[in-house]
Amino acid sequence: MQMLCRPFKTLRLASLGWSWVVVFAFQPAAGWGAESHQEQLFNQVREWEAQNRHLPPEQIDIAALDPRVQVQTCPRELLMDHPFVSQETVRVRCPAEGSSKSAQNRPPMWQLYLQINNVPSTVARVNQPVAAPDKPAAPAPAPRPVLIAKQTLTRGSRIDPAMLQEAMQPVVGADNQLLTNAKDLELAEVTRDIPPGSLLHTYDVKRSVLVKQGQSALLSISTAGAFQVTVQAEAQQDGYLGDQIRLKNADSGRIFYGVVTGPNVLRGL
């Protein structure tokens, strides 16, 4: 019986060809999708940062992501911003689906934070305020007469001129409420606690009640012949310095009028 045999060379070539076809069909393609998504993301961030920093995109160095981070695709335009003051961190967000206004009010589909390395210190950043030129120094204020507390002045206490000091001192600003004359405050009352060395203002003092209603006071009455009579009477109303008030003699019940000249002291009319 005669057998038909295929030449050995032909069989060997066919075998090699089949092996090559099998290897080609099962060549792994893993890794292509993830790497291309990350590179595409980095390129968009470089372009955005290049515009902000006025630099070529190739000079924008982005730190590598953690290998465990999987970069996803975004069906919409990415949103980028600097969430921190340093502007060396870029936040990339994929906006939620819907209209632009409603999407801004909802959490993004995903977001990533990218770190920019080796940021030049001389780069002019967008919206960075420009330093204003130095202004000429303002002239020193001229000395003005002031009234200074020499000791602690307690609220409600009467002022004695010996507690105060008149001086010339520079004062910043136009302060029109400063007191200047200690004699004007004689028998005045302090409205708040004032520490030593403080400047006194008009709102720090008020008129003091020198004669109080219901208290006894001395009324001096001048008579003909240069005589002066002093009568003790009861004040029928409060009186400040210079006020004319009514008094009553406790023994006779007679009503007098006098002008307040000091604490519990009046001059008859």
Residues 6+ apart with CB under 8 A from 59: 50
Per CATH, which fold does 210-268 belong to? SH3 type barrels. (2.30.30)
User: Which sign, positive or negative, has the C-alpha torsion 170, 175, 181, 183?
Assistant: negative
- In single-letter form, the type of residue at position 63 comes to A
- Count helices and strands in the chain by DSSP H and E runs: 3, 15
Residue, of 19 and 164, whose pLDDT is higher: 164
- DSSP one-letter code for 75: S
Find the range with the poorest average confidence among 11-15, 100-104, 166-170. 11-15
User: What digits encode the pLDDT tens for the residues 119-155?
Assistant: 654 444 444 555 566 677 777 778 889 999 999 999 9
148 vs 170: CA distance, rounded Å:
13
Q: Over 70: is that where the pLDDT of 262 sits?
A: yes
Euclidean distance between CA atoms 194 and 163, whole angstroms = 11
Judged against a pLDDT cut of 80, whether residue 20 lies above it is answered with: no
CA 84 – CA 107 distance, rounded (Å): 19
Better-predicted residue by pLDDT, 101 or 141? 141
**DSSP code string of 115-147:** EEES--TTPPPTTPPPPPPPPPPPPPPPEEEEE
For the chain, residues classed under CATH 2.30.30.760 are: 210-268
- In this structure, the chain runs to a length of 269
Residue 173 region by backbone torsions, left for phi larger than 0, else alpha for psi between -120 and 50, else beta: left
User: What secondary structure letter does DSSP report for 21?
Assistant: H
Name 80's bridge partners.
92
What are the residues facing 256 on neighbouring strands? 247
What does pLDDT average to over the chain?
78
Q: Which fold, 143-207? A: Type Iii Antifreeze Protein Isoform Hplc 12 (3.90.1210)
What average pLDDT score do residues 221-248 get? Answer: 86
Chain centroid to CA 175: how far? 25
pLDDT at 247 over 90: yes
Instruction: List, in sequence order, every residue forming a beta bridge with 268; answer none if it has no partner.
Output: 258
Q: Where is mean pLDDT largest: 111-115, 212-216, 225-229?
A: 212-216
Write out the residue limits of the CATH 3.90.1210.10 domain(s) in the chain: 143-207
Amino acid at the residue 234: E
